[in-house]
Amino acid sequence: MEDKQLQLEKGDFKIRQLKENEAQLYKAMRLEAIKTEPAMFRVSNPPEAELTDIEWEQRIKNPRLVYGLFKNNQPIGMTSMLLLNPEEAYLGQSYIKKEFRGQGLSSLLYQIRMQSAYQLGLRRLSVSHRKSNLASKAANQRMGFIFTHEESMSWLDGTTEDVLYYVLDL
């Protein structure tokens, strides 16, 4: 897909798929997200802070598509799409630095993943969020995602709270 990488712009902001040689940028943004917003991310095994550089390089390759959000070429956010099979992907790992929230930038995160989904011929997208994360809920509802179920989950902030799951048929 490298020859068909998408890019969207909104004023000074740009979102684009990260290239495989940008694994360190992905690592830095993901670890910043986890550190600054532990209440928004699930516990993973092994913890992402313990991954090797080689493991980070693998995480930026197919079946995962990672997108960086930039303001004047400075990274301010990220998101990803995990291809589950030839027809479905899971949207996750969304993060925007606090000082850039509330500017409608989450729409860019969704737009680029939706365009990628259409380009790849996907038929279904799924997404989830912590039950108390009302901003994520509002963002996925604006895109037309439909609630499917919830389950209890452990979060990086040491708490347990339900995670809500949604799907969107394309």
pLDDT level of residue 46 (50, 70, 90 thresholds): confident
Which tokens hold the place of 17?
Answer: 């798929």
Residue type, 51: L
pLDDT single digits (tens) 6-16: 899 999 999 99
pLDDT band for position 4 (cuts 50, 70, 90): low
Instruction: Flag whether pLDDT at 3 surpasses 60.
Output: no
CATH number for region 2-169: 3.40.630.30
Tokens, residue 27: 């690592």
CA torsion angle 82 23 48 167 (round to 10): -20
The residue ranges of every structural domain in the chain are 2-169
pLDDT at 38 over 60: yes
- CA atoms of 147 and 150, how far apart (whole Å): 9
Q: What is the pLDDT of residues 71-125, one digit of tens each?
A: 999 999 999 999 999 999 999 999 999 999 989 899 999 999 999 999 999 999 9
Q: What is the mean pLDDT of the chain?
A: 93
At 137, give phi and psi (nearest 5°).
-60, -45
pTM of the model: 0.91
Q: Residue 130: how many CB atoms within 10 A of its CB?
A: 20
For residue 107, what are the CA distances in angstroms to 53, 55, 158, 164?
A: 30, 29, 29, 20
